[in-house]
Structure 1
Amino acid sequence: MHYMTGFQRDVLYAIAGYDEPHGLAIKDELENYYETEILAGRLYPNLDTLVGNGLVEKGTLDRRTNYYTLTRRGRRETEARREWEQQYVGELLADS
């Protein structure tokens, strides 16, 4: 995940939290997190990058709506990132 932007990582986490979310559901989740509007011109190119990197699969719900899911690689990399974070954040929280 070191090659991803923080926004791409957040998109990946948002997808992981849902069962086949469509783009607007991902957008809504990120807007809640960032507390600001996420423009389609920012979201969809980053989704395409994640698909191109083999971390996310893109499927079709209907002619206008796509859904997204993590690939096996996407799940592995997300889990590895969470374990790496836990080494540092877990210790910080345990000390509180």
Structure 2
Amino acid sequence: MDDLTGFQRDLLYAIGGLEEPAGLQIKDALEEYYEAEVHHGRLYPNLDTLVDKGLVKKGELDRRTNKYELTDRGRREVQARRDWEDQYLDELEGPESETG
């Protein structure tokens, strides 16, 4: 996952948190998180990159709408990233301070 942009990682997290979302559902989730508009010209090329890397599977909901889901590899990559983040976040929290 070290070759992905932050936006691409966020796409993986959004896809993993939704049930076979369409592109517009992913777009809405990211816009809510970023509190800014996500343009189609940014969204779909990055989704295609994730598909090309084997992290996301793209299928059809209907003739006009695609759905996306994490592949097994995509899930493993997300979990590995979360494990890596957790080791550093645990360090930030440190031991509970005693008051008294």
State TM-score, norm by structure 1. 0.96
One-letter amino acid of the structure 2 residue matched with residue 16 of structure 1: G
SS of aligned partner of 2:59:
strand
Match of 1:35 in 2: 35
Match of 2:10 in 1: 10
Match of 2:26 in 1: 26
Structure 1 distance, partners of 2:91, 2:53, is 32
Cα displacement string for residues 10-43 of structure 1 (whole angstroms, at most 9, x for unaligned residues): 0000000011000000000000011100000000
Normalised to the residue count of structure 2, the TM-score between the two structures is 0.92
Shift of 1:93: 3.0
- By how many angstroms is 1:95 displaced? 4.8
Query: Which residue number in structure 2 is paired with residue 67 of structure 1?
Result: 67
Measured after TM superposition, the shift of residue 90 of structure 1 is: 2.3
Output the aligned Cα RMSD. 1.1
Three-state SS of the structure 2 residue aligned to 1:43 is: helix
- Counterpart for residue 83 of structure 1: 83
Q: d(CA) in 1 for partners of 2:55 and 2:44?
A: 15
Q: Secondary structure at the match of 1:32?
A: helix
Q: Secondary structure of the equivalent of 2:19?
A: coil
Show structure 2 runs of 5+ residues with no match: none
How many matched pairs?
Answer: 96
Instruction: Return 5+ residue gaps in structure 1 as ranges.
Output: none
Larger radius of gyration: 2
